[in-house]
Amino acid sequence: MSRDHLQSAERPAPGAAAPDRARPEERPAPEPTGRPASEPHDRPAQGSAETPFLELLARGASAEAYDQPVLLARAERLPTERITALEQARRLALRVRSDLEGRRRREAELSALFETAHDLAGLRDLDAVLQAIVQRARSLLGTDVAYLSLNDPARGDTYMRVTEGSVAARFQQLRLGMGEGLGGLVAQTARPYVTDDYFRDDRFEHTLTIDTSVRDEGLVAIVGVPLMLGHTVIGVLFAADRRARVFEREQIALLGSFAALAAAAIDTANLLAETRSALAGLERANEIIQDRSGVIERASDVHDRLAELVLRGGGVHDVAAAVSEVLDGTVEFTETAVAPAGALEASRAEAHAVRNGRDWVAAVSAGDELLGALVLRGHPGLDPVDQRTLERAAMVTSLLLLARRSAAEAEQRVRGELLDDLLDARDRDPRLMRERAARLHADLEATHTVLSARLEGPAADADEEADARRRLWAAASHLAATRRGLAAARDGGTVLLLPLGPDDTATGLARRTARQLGTAVHEPVTVGASAPVEHLTARPDTVATAYAEARRCLDALRVLGRSGDGAAAEDFGFLGLLLAGEGDIPGFVDRTIGPVVAYDRRRGTDLLRTLDTYFACGMSPVRTKDDLHVHVNTVAQRLDRVRRLLGDDWQSPSRALEIQLALRLHRFSAPE
């Protein structure tokens, strides 16, 4: 308290006589009668002794400030009676101050309890209510930390639920066994417990985990009160200080009130959760009932639609479209080769639709043979009834495919007979051949290639080998029908006559056919292709000659260890001349050195002679320039031009051999 405040505390009340401030030498001497100096005629009347303390009360001053008026009076050597009156007034003022503080504290406590009860009445978030309880408990008790732990019956321990003022992460995540620590003592006895010094208190069980966490937090004095639901302790509410402290009875009672509200909040939240869960269960049951009703209606609808499709001869895509509408999704029929292999095999093995990521796959099979799959796209949460609907649709699809297969087999026989007639080079009327091909949607005037296909997998016995050949023929016939070609079983394998598209080559078609047939029959298939042929009906032996060339390519692939692959005669370089029988010598020359021939023809250069001389001189530029009588730089420039025309690898052993052969064939076919 400042000196000015102390002086103001000594000022007389309004209307009171001003105190005597005369110097000591001007004051009248005391009478020798021995009368008290406090009598009116000994000293001017002082202000009331309560006045400075009333001012202190009005200002809400600290307790230490109430000592100042007494100390000041003693310093001024006021009469003993005055000092005694001031001390008595100080005691009364401190008592009034204490009562006022108690009233304010109780008012704050009641207000906090009322606010907590209000929060509980409008409970929406249990964590928010518990956090508010802990915050208010810490604030009103004036502690460093407050926290709340709850019992976990499932794990048989207790865990920290809410903390306020905590700074240690390990303390905030503490879990401890039942009966351990101060909280265990509170839980066992269902009574509050207080410790002024946690680490010196041996009334409860100390554990390394708890003591380490408490030490991390720096706690010393702790009070804990139980959270009760009926006669059951469900947790403990704590308040703690990081210094020694004695908690008053009123503070413990206040903490108990907060604990009761916390228990009520937890109980209310549990009841609300149970109620919400029950309501959700009822809503879910109602949804399931409604959904089942809708599913049954959809199942009946899809049954009627599928029956109608079968009766009117619908196709597999009609089935997929009908099921898409019923299942409210996208259902597609996919071939075996493009369906997800793992899911397809699982569906066939289990005889049920299986989930594949966000899709469902139902195998379409006939016995052990896979015919394809129905795939429901982007529908991961499929109802069991809808799953059975997809499976039923797959079964109907397999029946339709089998029916279509029967019709296709009849068509395949017709296709095979036509190809057999072309291969046997019988004297047939070209017009009739073209008409027969047109009925099969084949165009014999287009450019085709003949392919010879053969299985490479070992067969255990004759029956298995025959079955494998039938599967290869079926797969080849299906491929021929989709490509508007022809297929027939021949010479222990299969022969196909397929048209070449604008961007197709004989080699590319052979390789693609080998992959497709191998995937269809689940065994390696080797395919040899002839060179492209045109006007198949113009000469009776055109197809037979191309077939012989395709078979030689097939044999070459097997000899070279390329079983399961596809190739044409052009892939073997000059060996292709041997494989091609009569061979296409101009075609080989053109493929090998055609750019150089064309360059000489356009520019009047002498690159072919330079190449011929270069190889004759052992690929020595120096010897070449001597034979040609030109400068070595001229030879280098010509060879660089050849490199740009034929490619950087033109001098590799295999390319050099083919180029030399092409040069010789060109010289023989067009001598200078």
pLDDT at 433 over 80: no
Q: What percent of the chain has pLDDT over 70?
A: 80
What CA–CA distance (Å, rounded) separates 234 from 189? 12
DSSP 584: -
Residue type, 666: H
Q: What angle separates helix 80-121 from helix 126-141, to the nearest 10 degrees?
A: 170
CA distance 513 to 506: 10
Q: CA 226, 228, 234, 239: dihedral to nearest 10 degrees? A: -30
**Alpha-carbon distance 226 to 256, whole Å?**
7
- Say how far apart CA 496 and CA 517 lie, in whole Å: 12
Q: What is the DSSP letter of 165?
A: S
Burial of 430 (0-12, 13-18, 19+ CB in 10 A): middle
Query: Cα–Cα distance between 543 and 530 in angstroms, integer?
Result: 10
Min mean pLDDT across 32-36, 386-390, 614-618, 648-652 is at 32-36
422 vs 495: CA distance, rounded Å: 12
Asked if pLDDT for residue 503 goes beyond 60, the answer is yes
Order of strands, sheet of 232-241, starting from the edge strand that comes earlier in the sequence: 175-177, 157-164, 145-152, 232-241, 221-229, 193-195
When pLDDT is cut at 50, 70 and 90, the band that residue 241 belongs to is: very high
CB 204 within 8 A of CB 181: yes
- Which burial class, exposed, middle or buried, applies to 634 when counting CB atoms under 10 A from its CB (0-12, 13-18, 19+)? middle
| Residue 401 clears pLDDT 60, i.e. is over it | yes
In this prediction, residue 9 carries a pLDDT of: 36
Beta strand 566-568 pairing with 525-529: parallel
The sign one gets for the Cα dihedral 559, 565, 567, 572 is negative
Q: Across residues 505-528, what is the average pLDDT?
A: 88
Sheet architecture: strand order including 525-529: 486-490, 493-499, 448-455, 525-529, 566-568
Q: CA-CA distance, 18 to 11, in Å (whole number)?
A: 8
Query: Rounded mean pLDDT of 529-535?
Result: 85
The count of other CB atoms within 10 Å of the CB of residue 115 is 13
Q: What is each CA distance from 635 to 51, 627, 639, in whole angstroms?
A: 127, 11, 6
CB 86 within 8 A of CB 66: no
C-alpha angle with apex 499: 498 to 504, nearest 5 degrees?
A: 110
Q: Are 219 and 241 in contact (CB under 8 A)?
A: yes
Using pLDDT thresholds of 50, 70 and 90, give the confidence band for residue 578.
Answer: low
pLDDT in tens, 139-171: 878 899 999 999 888 888 889 989 999 999 999
Write the pLDDT tens digit of every residue in 276-318.
Answer: 888 888 888 787 777 777 666 666 666 677 777 666 667 777 7
pLDDT for residue 192: 93
Check residue 11 and give its pLDDT: 39
Encoding tokens for residue 3?
């000196």
Span 95-123, pLDDT tens digits: 887 777 766 766 666 666 666 666 655 65
Estimate the crossing angle of helix 653-669 against helix 585-603, to 10 degrees: 80
Distances in whole angstroms, Cα of residue 292 to Cα of each of 279, 295, 387: 20, 5, 13
Per-residue pLDDT, 573:
59
For residues 5-20, give the mean pLDDT.
Answer: 38
Residue 263 has a pLDDT of 83
Identity (one letter) of the amino acid at 360?
W
φ, ψ for residue 290, nearest 5 deg: -65, -40
Beta 330-334 vs 354-356: how paired, if at all?
Answer: unpaired
Q: Which of 74-88, 177-191, 561-575 has the lowest mean pLDDT?
A: 561-575
- Mean per-residue pLDDT, 617-622: 89
pLDDT at 25 over 70: no
Packed helices 384-423 and 430-439: angle between N→C axes, nearest 10 degrees: 180
| Cα→Cα distances 221→192, 197, 237, Å | 14, 5, 14
User: How far apart are alpha carbons 176 and 52 in whole angstroms?
Assistant: 56
Average confidence (pLDDT) over 82-102: 81
Q: 3-state DSSP call for residue 315?
A: coil
Higher pLDDT, 419 or 136: 136
